[in-house]
Amino acid sequence: MGTVTKALQLLTFFSRAQPLIGLSDMARLSGMNKATVHRMLGELQAAGFVEQVGTGRHYRLGPVYMRLAALREHAVPLRDVVGAVLQSLCDETQETAHFSLLQGTQLVATAHAYSPHHGTRVTMEDAQILTLHGTSSGLAVLAYARADFVHAVLEAPLPARTQHTITNPKELRAKLAQVHQNGIAESISGFEEDVHSHAAPIFDAHGQPFGAIAVAAPVARMDQRLRQNVRRATLAAGMHLTRLLGGFPPDTYPTPLNPTEIHG
């Protein structure tokens, strides 16, 4: 492993739970010698990637990221990042993948990717508005949204798009609890007939959900094998996208490391 890689690795140990790290801790975390870590932190500090707080004692992430993040966003806008993730999720599941963004109290599907693998596929309208209670994407967002937001949504009239749409607030709250536990939402024909979809929430820098990434397949094609694959891939894609966009899942969010533990 090169020196640069080792130095950059140090930056990965900072987290929301551990924003300040001391020299010795950093040496332990990285498994490197204290003198080595000291020199590396010195170089990172000189470049502004890390800074010391107070009189030595602790290091934290430096001020350069504002600028670099702004430049990155300018070079690669959000839609490009989302598009790439959608494409790979689509390739992986060979079903329609789409991304939706919460705008006020409306969930808007802003991007999608189709798989050429099957003759039949779920199709999306551009800028289609998804109901929060009737789609997997909506349920994924609701399951992690603030209580007052959920309350407002469930108190409002809940239109049934199909005869399978759940419109009973009590029933919906039970479902949201289940989604919250699994980290992924599932909806069978709740929005369009014969569409079976899964969705994972996307979180912002404050751990609040602001959108969802989803995979939608025809009900007829959804067997146990495909379902497992879709759930695993969607959960992973959601986590990945959250991280790419600089967001953080809340502490309660289930890790996708053990997808077999997820119950349906």
Partner DNA sequence: TTGAGTTGGTTCATTATTTGAACCGATGGT
Partner DNA sequence: ACCATCGGTTCAAATAATGAACCAACTCAA
**Least Å from the CB of residue 208 to DNA:** 18
**Least Å from the CB of residue 35 to its own copies:** 13
The verdict on 149 binding its own copies (CB under 8 A) reads no
**Interaction partner, residue 126 (its own copies, DNA, none; CB < 5-8 Å by kind):** its own copies
Binding residues for its own copies, total number by CB under 8 A: 55
Q: Which of residues 7-66 bind DNA (CB under 7 A)?
A: 22-25, 32-36, 38-41, 52, 56-58
CA distances from 158 to 153, 165, 173 (A): 8, 9, 13
Q: Which of residues 213-232 bind its own copies (CB under 8 A)?
A: none
The verdict on 20 binding its own copies (CB under 8 A) reads yes
CA distances from 126 to 47, 90, 109, 113, 214 (A): 44, 17, 7, 12, 15
CB nearer to DNA: give 28 or 227. 28
**Interaction partner, residue 221 (its own copies, DNA, none; CB < 5-8 Å by kind):** none
The verdict on 81 binding its own copies (CB under 8 A) reads yes
Q: What are the residues binding DNA (CB under 7 A)?
A: 1-4, 6, 22-25, 32-36, 38-41, 52, 56-58
